[in-house]
Amino acid sequence: MTLIDGYNLLWAFPELRELMVAGRCELAREGLLRLLARLIRSGRLSAPVTVVFDGSPAQGGPCGSVPGELEVRFAPHPSSADDLIREIVESSANAAGITVVSSDREVRSRAARAGASVIRTGEFVESRLPRRPRARGSERPEPPADKPAPPQGQAEVDRWLREFGLDG
Protein backbone atom coordinates (compact mmCIF):
# COMPACT_ATOMS: atom_id res chain seq x y z
CA MET A 1 0.00 0.00 0.00
CA THR A 2 1.13 3.54 -0.73
CA LEU A 3 0.13 6.06 1.94
CA ILE A 4 0.33 9.68 0.74
CA ASP A 5 0.38 12.91 2.72
CA GLY A 6 -2.12 14.59 0.40
CA TYR A 7 -1.33 18.25 0.90
CA ASN A 8 2.42 17.60 0.80
CA LEU A 9 2.01 16.06 -2.64
CA LEU A 10 -0.57 18.58 -3.81
CA TRP A 11 1.75 21.51 -3.06
CA ALA A 12 4.45 19.90 -5.24
CA PHE A 13 2.46 20.90 -8.35
CA PRO A 14 2.41 24.63 -9.15
CA GLU A 15 -1.02 24.48 -10.80
CA LEU A 16 -2.61 22.82 -7.78
CA ARG A 17 -0.74 25.15 -5.42
CA GLU A 18 -2.27 28.11 -7.28
CA LEU A 19 -5.74 26.65 -6.78
CA MET A 20 -5.04 26.28 -3.05
CA VAL A 21 -3.83 29.87 -2.76
CA ALA A 22 -6.98 30.99 -4.59
CA GLY A 23 -9.09 29.18 -1.99
CA ARG A 24 -10.21 26.44 -4.37
CA CYS A 25 -9.09 23.58 -2.12
CA GLU A 26 -11.69 21.05 -3.26
CA LEU A 27 -10.75 21.58 -6.91
CA ALA A 28 -7.05 21.20 -6.07
CA ARG A 29 -7.71 17.96 -4.18
CA GLU A 30 -9.81 16.63 -7.06
CA GLY A 31 -6.99 17.44 -9.49
CA LEU A 32 -4.50 15.52 -7.37
CA LEU A 33 -6.85 12.54 -7.05
CA ARG A 34 -7.45 12.47 -10.82
CA LEU A 35 -3.69 12.45 -11.38
CA LEU A 36 -3.20 9.60 -8.91
CA ALA A 37 -6.03 7.61 -10.50
CA ARG A 38 -4.35 8.06 -13.91
CA LEU A 39 -1.02 6.90 -12.48
CA ILE A 40 -2.70 3.78 -11.08
CA ARG A 41 -4.44 3.03 -14.40
CA SER A 42 -1.17 3.54 -16.31
CA GLY A 43 0.75 1.18 -14.00
CA ARG A 44 3.10 3.92 -12.77
CA LEU A 45 1.61 3.58 -9.28
CA SER A 46 0.48 0.32 -7.71
CA ALA A 47 -2.86 0.10 -5.94
CA PRO A 48 -3.97 0.33 -3.24
CA VAL A 49 -3.21 3.98 -2.55
CA THR A 50 -4.51 5.92 0.45
CA VAL A 51 -4.36 9.71 0.39
CA VAL A 52 -4.71 11.50 3.71
CA PHE A 53 -5.76 15.16 3.99
CA ASP A 54 -6.21 17.48 6.94
CA GLY A 55 -9.74 18.72 7.55
CA SER A 56 -12.89 17.37 6.02
CA PRO A 57 -14.35 17.03 2.52
CA ALA A 58 -16.59 19.77 1.17
CA GLN A 59 -20.22 19.33 2.13
CA GLY A 60 -21.68 16.91 -0.40
CA GLY A 61 -18.56 17.08 -2.55
CA PRO A 62 -17.02 14.00 -4.16
CA CYS A 63 -14.46 12.21 -2.06
CA GLY A 64 -12.53 10.68 -4.98
CA SER A 65 -12.28 7.16 -3.54
CA VAL A 66 -12.19 4.21 -5.94
CA PRO A 67 -12.68 0.95 -4.00
CA GLY A 68 -9.59 -1.27 -4.03
CA GLU A 69 -7.51 1.36 -5.81
CA LEU A 70 -7.65 4.83 -4.30
CA GLU A 71 -8.94 5.63 -0.84
CA VAL A 72 -9.28 9.19 0.43
CA ARG A 73 -9.24 9.82 4.17
CA PHE A 74 -9.58 13.03 6.14
CA ALA A 75 -8.04 13.42 9.60
CA PRO A 76 -10.80 14.01 12.14
CA HIS A 77 -10.51 17.22 14.14
CA PRO A 78 -8.38 17.91 16.19
CA SER A 79 -5.98 15.38 14.62
CA SER A 80 -3.84 16.17 11.60
CA ALA A 81 -3.06 14.19 8.48
CA ASP A 82 0.39 13.58 9.99
CA ASP A 83 -1.25 12.04 13.08
CA LEU A 84 -3.51 9.83 10.96
CA ILE A 85 -0.61 8.65 8.79
CA ARG A 86 1.41 7.73 11.88
CA GLU A 87 -1.62 5.94 13.35
CA ILE A 88 -2.20 3.92 10.17
CA VAL A 89 1.45 2.85 9.95
CA GLU A 90 1.98 2.16 13.63
CA SER A 91 -1.24 0.13 13.97
CA SER A 92 -0.62 -1.94 10.82
CA ALA A 93 0.15 -5.62 11.17
CA ASN A 94 2.29 -5.26 8.04
CA ALA A 95 4.04 -1.87 8.21
CA ALA A 96 6.75 -3.27 5.92
CA GLY A 97 4.12 -3.41 3.17
CA ILE A 98 3.46 0.34 3.39
CA THR A 99 5.29 3.09 1.52
CA VAL A 100 4.76 6.54 3.05
CA VAL A 101 5.05 9.57 0.75
CA SER A 102 5.66 12.76 2.73
CA SER A 103 7.97 15.75 2.96
CA ASP A 104 7.49 15.85 6.72
CA ARG A 105 10.67 14.62 8.43
CA GLU A 106 8.86 13.46 11.60
CA VAL A 107 6.27 11.49 9.61
CA ARG A 108 8.99 9.78 7.58
CA SER A 109 11.11 9.08 10.67
CA ARG A 110 8.28 7.49 12.65
CA ALA A 111 7.08 5.49 9.63
CA ALA A 112 10.60 4.15 9.06
CA ARG A 113 10.94 3.21 12.74
CA ALA A 114 7.65 1.29 12.46
CA GLY A 115 9.07 -0.64 9.49
CA ALA A 116 7.47 1.19 6.55
CA SER A 117 9.34 2.36 3.47
CA VAL A 118 9.47 6.13 3.06
CA ILE A 119 9.90 8.42 0.09
CA ARG A 120 10.05 12.20 -0.05
CA THR A 121 7.36 13.94 -2.04
CA GLY A 122 9.84 15.31 -4.58
CA GLU A 123 11.35 11.87 -5.17
CA PHE A 124 7.85 10.42 -5.63
CA VAL A 125 7.01 13.07 -8.26
CA GLU A 126 10.30 12.51 -10.08
CA SER A 127 9.87 8.73 -10.12
CA ARG A 128 6.24 8.77 -11.31
CA LEU A 129 6.26 11.82 -13.58
CA PRO A 130 9.68 11.96 -15.20
CA ARG A 131 10.54 15.25 -16.79
CA ARG A 132 10.66 15.54 -20.53
CA PRO A 133 14.12 16.11 -22.04
CA ARG A 134 15.07 19.78 -22.22
CA ALA A 135 16.13 21.56 -25.34
CA ARG A 136 19.88 21.83 -25.75
CA GLY A 137 21.33 24.80 -23.91
CA SER A 138 18.40 25.15 -21.49
CA GLU A 139 20.00 23.21 -18.64
CA ARG A 140 19.40 24.53 -15.15
CA PRO A 141 20.62 23.30 -11.79
CA GLU A 142 18.51 20.53 -10.28
CA PRO A 143 16.14 21.68 -7.50
CA PRO A 144 16.35 20.13 -4.02
CA ALA A 145 14.61 16.72 -3.76
CA ASP A 146 11.48 18.05 -2.01
CA LYS A 147 10.90 20.88 -4.46
CA PRO A 148 9.63 20.25 -7.97
CA ALA A 149 11.20 22.05 -10.88
CA PRO A 150 9.36 25.20 -11.91
CA PRO A 151 7.37 25.02 -15.16
CA GLN A 152 9.46 25.37 -18.29
CA GLY A 153 7.01 27.79 -19.89
CA GLN A 154 3.38 28.09 -20.89
CA ALA A 155 3.50 24.83 -22.89
CA GLU A 156 4.43 22.85 -19.78
CA VAL A 157 1.80 24.63 -17.70
CA ASP A 158 -0.78 23.78 -20.37
CA ARG A 159 0.38 20.14 -20.36
CA TRP A 160 -0.07 19.85 -16.59
CA LEU A 161 -3.47 21.51 -16.75
CA ARG A 162 -4.49 18.88 -19.33
CA GLU A 163 -2.98 16.12 -17.15
CA PHE A 164 -5.07 17.28 -14.19
CA GLY A 165 -8.17 17.77 -16.33
CA LEU A 166 -8.19 21.49 -15.51
CA ASP A 167 -7.82 22.83 -19.04
CA GLY A 168 -11.51 23.33 -19.75
Q: Beta strands of the chain (E only): which ranges?
A: 2-5, 49-53, 70-74, 99-101, 117-119
Supply the range of the domain harboring residue 27.
2-130+144-163
Q: Is residue 83 part of a domain?
A: yes
Q: pLDDT tens digit string along 32-58?
A: 999 999 999 999 999 999 999 998 776
Q: Is residue 139 part of a domain?
A: no
Please state whether 115 falls in left (phi above 0), alpha (psi between -120 and 50) or beta. Answer: left
Domain count, the chain: 1
Q: pLDDT tens digit string along 59-105?
A: 544 466 676 799 999 998 888 999 999 999 999 999 999 999 999 99
CATH number of the structural domain spanning residue 109 = 3.40.50
